[in-house]
Amino acid sequence: MSAALHIELPDFLARANAEPCVLPAPAARMGFVLELVRANIATGGGPFAAAVFERDSGRLVAAGANRVVASCCSAAHAEVLALSLAQARLGSHDLGAAGLPACELVTSAEPCAMCLGAVIWSGVRSLVCAARGTDVVALGFDEGPRPADWIGELGARGIAVTTDLLRDAACALLRDYRASGGPIYNARGGGRQ
């Protein structure tokens, strides 16, 4: 057994992380994330993507897409990968550390229970979501137990939340994924990819 964890990024995601990108408008940032979803589905990945941006400038710090099945790692959700890649790029486990620009996580869907925890501990100052958790659950994915007032919980920790940005476009991608027969899995038979 290897002592290292390795998650292979598909070519489109490696390119997204290598090319400079500045998107000042929130809708443009979400549009970028939804294009990552489209590319991830086209290459056999799940229908979720996320990216960390410098909140004020719109400069892309890191992008991630769901790689759970491809990597055989249930923690390889888009949000976790985007946050982890951003932390590696900025050289800090705390994206809110002194000297770093305020970071924003932009996601194609509201965070599941695991990703909610990752958001809390990451140090991001804001979270922007497209599809709702209920949209994801309606397709059969399992979001896990989140506090009923998860947005209030984040707000109490200094993390501003925006929901429903380009929700219809994100939901269309979720439906396309489901119609294409993409796997909807959970270790117990239901659930989120």
Interhelix angle 78-90/113-122, nearest 10 degrees: 20
CA atoms of 54 and 57, how far apart (whole Å): 6
Tell how strand 49-54 and strand 126-131 pair up: unpaired
Which listed residue (8, 19, 79, 110) is catalytic? 79
CA atoms of 138 and 42, how far apart (whole Å): 22
Assess whether 79 carries a catalytic annotation. Answer: yes
Q: What letters, b where the CB count within 10 A reaches 16 and e where it falls short, cover 55-81?
A: beebebbbbbbbbbbbbeeeebbbbbb
Provide the total of helices (H) and of strands (E) in the chain, helices listed first: 8, 5
Q: Could you tell me if 5 and 11 are in contact, meaning their C-beta atoms sit under 8 angstroms apart?
A: no
Contacts of 127 (CB under 8 A, 6+ apart): 104, 105, 106, 107, 111, 119, 154, 159, 160, 161, 162
Active site residues: 79
